[in-house]
Amino acid sequence: MLANRKSPTNRYSYPSIGLHWLMLLLFIGVYGAIELHGLSEKGSDIRAAFKTWHFMLGLLVFVLVWLRLAARLAGPAPAIHPEPPRLLQWTSRLMHWALYLLMIGLPLLGWLVLSAGGKQIPFFGLELPALIGENKALARQLKDLHETIGTLGYFLIGLHAAAALYHHYIKHDDTLVRMLPGRD
């Protein structure tokens, strides 16, 4: 059993593992930037910089999630040993798709907020085109939705991490090990 746990066939590919952990770092950056923005003095350069970094990192999540989806759809996930009950497998798939929706929906909503607000959409030295025309009332509504889903994102990400730890320390299966780097 131990040999199977360390076998590359029972692990995600190195690109999938790298993208997974890169996305975590980007989420930390996205959420950290907007939290620090809120703590910064209104009108300050640092506050504007945090907001810009929030936008750019969020859009980077949007770009990279498509690579993650392609990798996910290219082949099945490695089997979990021992195999969890069907209900746990179903909830795991549901959680993963909710996270993918978060990684697509939140940046897209942010882009729509900026577009409707008539603001620039910065992306690492580029300015992306507006997705919709300026509409301040719609921008406020979209911003509220973006913030609500962003708050839900804290819970989804936390639940995902808690589930990985539950599998590792309570269920004693290889769910977490399959996504850890350098374990071959």
pLDDT digits (tens, 9 = 90+) for 128-137: 999 999 999 9
pLDDT at 115: 98
Count of other CB atoms within 10 angstroms of residue 97 = 11
| Among candidate residues 37, 50, 40, 163, the one with its CA nearest the CA of residue 99 | 163
pTM over 0.85? The answer is: yes
Q: What is the pLDDT of residues 27-51, one digit of tens each?
A: 999 999 999 999 999 999 999 999 9
pLDDT at 7: 39
User: pLDDT at residue 19 above 70?
Assistant: yes
- Among 7, 26, 2, 49, CA closest to 153: 26
CATH fold, domain 2-179, is Fumarate Reductase Cytochrome B subunit (1.20.950)
Indicate the average pLDDT of the chain: 92
Condensed to tens digits (0 to 9), the pLDDT of residues 140-172 reads 999 999 999 999 999 999 999 999 999 999 999
Q: Can you spell out the DSSP letters for 79-113?
A: PPSSPPPHHHHHHHHHHHHHHHHHHHHHHHHHHHH
Nearest CA-CA partner of 59 in 17, 109, 16: 109
Per cent of the chain over pLDDT 70 is: 94
